[in-house]
Amino acid sequence: MGELLIIGSCLPEPYVELGDWQRLAEFQHADGLVPRDDHPVDDDHATRFQDHQHPTVVATVAGTIALTRALNTPPTRTPDTHA
């Protein structure tokens, strides 16, 4: 899911669906971990890291790209009528 959010944020006209981000937020644990699947998450810190580092990093990258795009998007220009 995170990879698709990255791709959507990188399009010339970013594809953003609020529901996609809400679902990702619902999956995310209080400590920031984003689980790789719907299986229970182990309590052991090393196992949690090993099993779930990729989706957690991908979600972080996706959020960073989307936020950066949103903050750096110039306002829509109106045609110059004084020319």
pLDDT at 80: 62
pLDDT tens for residues 14-65? 998 999 999 999 999 999 999 999 999 999 999 999 999 999 999 999 999 9
Residues 5-14 have a mean pLDDT of: 93
36 within 8 A of 57, measured Cβ to Cβ: no
Contacts of 74-83 with CB under 8 Å at 24 or more apart are none
pLDDT at 77: 60
pLDDT at 72: 84
**Gap between the Cα atoms of 35 and 41, Å rounded:** 7
